[in-house]
Amino acid sequence: MSLPERALASRSVSAIGLGCMNLSHAYGTPPGAADGLSLLNRALDLGIGHLDTAALYGGGDNEQLVAQVMRRRGEFLLASKCVLDMRDGRRVLDGSPASIARTLDAALGRLGTDHIDLYYMHRLDREVPIEESVGALVRAKDAGKIGAIGLSEMSAATIRRAHAIHPIAAVQSEYSPVVRNPEIAVLDTCRDLGIAFVAFSPVARGLLTGAVRDDDFVDGDIRLPMPRFRGERLAHNLHAVDAFVALAAEAGCTPAQLSLAWVLSRGEHVVAIPGTTSIAHLREDVAAAELALPDAVLERVTAIFAPGAIRGARYTAAMQAQIDTETFADEELA
C-alpha cells in the first residue's frame, strides 16, 4: 500500500509514521510482545514507512520489539533517541558525549543493527553545551552508526546552535490543535533551515479522539499527573473537545483523522507520528494521510482551540524543566 510521502532525513517517508512508545509503556499496561509485533507488521503492510522508538521507551524493551521487524528494514526509516535513558531502573537525562555513545551502542545491540537512520537527542541537557552533544552525534555519523541527526523538544535558538555544528535533519515536538508551542518559533525555524518537523502526540494523548471523558486512568498512565487531564481542568477542556468532535462528524471523518489532517496541513515539512496499540485505530490514522478537508474546516479547528480553550499545564513541573521548547506568555506551566 502506498501513502502520501514527505521528506525526512534525506528520504521520502509516509506523511504519517508510527510512534512506537505506546507498545512498551506510558498509557497503562502495554500489549504483549506478540500483539505489539502484530501491530508493527500491520503498520508496515499499510504503508507506514517511519518507525520511531527510543532508549527510554520500556527501558529498552521498545527497541527490542522494533528489532523483530528489522527483516523488513528496507520498508521503513528507523528512528531512535538518546540523552534520556533508563539506568538501574531510574530515568536519567545525560547529554554528555560519553553517555550518548553508551546509549547508542546499547541501542544498536537491542535493535540488532549497526546503523540507525535518524538519531535524536530526546531532550536538552542544560548541563552540557549543545555543541558538545551534537559533536558526539557527528562522530557517530562519521563512524557509520547513524545516518542523520535530530533534536526533540528544543527551542528555535537551540536548533540554530545545533544546526551551526552540523545540519539537523529533523526536530520532533509535541504538536496538535491543543498543543501549539511549535508555532511560536520552531515550525518557521525548521522551514527556514530545511529541517523536517515531526509531530508527536498529534491527537493530544488521546484527548482529540473523543475517548477521554474523565480522569479515571489506569495505574502507570502518564496522563495521571498531567494537570490538563485532571479534575476541573479536564472538565473545562472537554467543552472544546466536544465542539471538535462535532466538527469531525460534520466533516465526515473521525476526530483523530481531523486532528491528523490539521497537523499535516501546517506545512509540507511536517510529518506526524501518532501512537496506538489498536490495529483498528492504526487503520483510522493511516486513512487521515489522504484526507482532503476544506480550509474552512481546518480554520474552525484552529478557532476551537484558541487561547483559553485549554486549561492546565501539559507536563508536571519536573517534566517541564526538561523541555526547551518555547512557551506562551500566559501558558500554565505547573
CA distance 201 to 199: 7
Contact 182, 198 (CB under 8 A): no
E-state strands within 97-241: 116-121, 146-152, 170-174, 196-200
Catalytic choice (57, 120, 175, 315): 57
Does the annotation count 315 as an active-site position?
no
Per the CATH hierarchy, to which homologous superfamily does domain 5-207+266-292 belong? NADP-dependent oxidoreductase domain (3.20.20.100)
- Measured in degrees and rounded to the nearest 5, phi and psi for residue 94 equal -150, 110
Any idea what the Cα angle at residue 84 is, between residues 20 and 157, rounded to 5°?
A: 100
Place of cell 472538565: 235
CA distance 227 to 225: 6
- Measured in degrees and rounded to the nearest 5, phi and psi for residue 87 equal -135, 125
Average per-residue pLDDT in the chain?
97
Report pLDDT for 298.
98
In terms of residues, how long is the chain? 334
Report pLDDT for 334.
75
Report pLDDT for 279.
97
Task: Locate the domains of the chain by residue range.
Answer: 5-207+266-292
pLDDT beneath 50, residues of the chain = none
pLDDT, one tens digit per residue, over 189-235 is 999 999 999 999 999 999 999 999 999 999 999 999 999 999 999 99
> Max CA-CA distance within the chain?
53
